[in-house]
Amino acid sequence: MSAKKKLVLASASPRRVELLQQAGIEPDRLLPANIDETPIKAEHPRSLAKRLSRAKAEKAMERLRKDGEAADSFLLAADTVVSVGRRILPKAETLDDASNCLRLLSGRSHRVFTGISVFTPEGKLRQRLVESRVRFKRLSRQELEHYLASGEWRGKAGGYAIQGIAGSFIVKLVGSYTNVVGLPLYETTALLGGEGFDVSPRWVQQADEDALPES
Q: What's the CATH code of the domain at 27?
A: 3.90.950.10
Distance CA 130, CA 112 (A): 8
Cα end-to-end span (Å), the chain: 32
Instruction: Please indicate, yes or no, if residue 203 is contained in any of the structural domains.
Output: yes
CA distances from 95 to 100, 143, 155 (A): 9, 15, 11
Q: How confident is the model at residue 4 (pLDDT cuts 50, 70, 90)?
A: confident
Instruction: Please indicate, yes or no, if residue 85 is contained in any of the structural domains.
Output: yes
Which residues, in sequence order, are CB contacts of 43 under 8 Å at separation 6+? 51, 88
pLDDT for residue 208: 57
For residue 187, the tally of other CB atoms under 10 A from its CB is 18
Q: Structurally, how many domains does the chain consist of?
A: 1
User: Residue 29: which domain range?
Assistant: 6-211
Give catalytic residue positions: 79
Task: Kindly tell me if the per-residue pLDDT of 215 is higher than 80.
Answer: no
Indicate the helix (H) or strand (E) that contains 132. Answer: strand 125-136
| Cβ atoms of 88 and 101 closer than 8 Å | no
Instruction: Please indicate, yes or no, if residue 140 is contained in any of the structural domains.
Output: yes
Of 184 and 13, the structure prediction assigns the larger pLDDT to: 184
pLDDT for residue 1: 41
Distance CA 160, CA 135 (A): 13
**How do residues 88-113 score in pLDDT, each as one tens digit?**
999 999 999 999 999 999 999 999 99
In 3D space, the residue among 86, 110, 90 whose CA is nearest the CA of residue 159 turns out to be: 90
Q: How confident is the model at residue 29 (pLDDT cuts 50, 70, 90)?
A: very high
Instruction: Please indicate, yes or no, if residue 187 is contained in any of the structural domains.
Output: yes
pTM of the model: 0.90
Instruction: Please indicate, yes or no, if residue 1 is contained in any of the structural domains.
Output: no
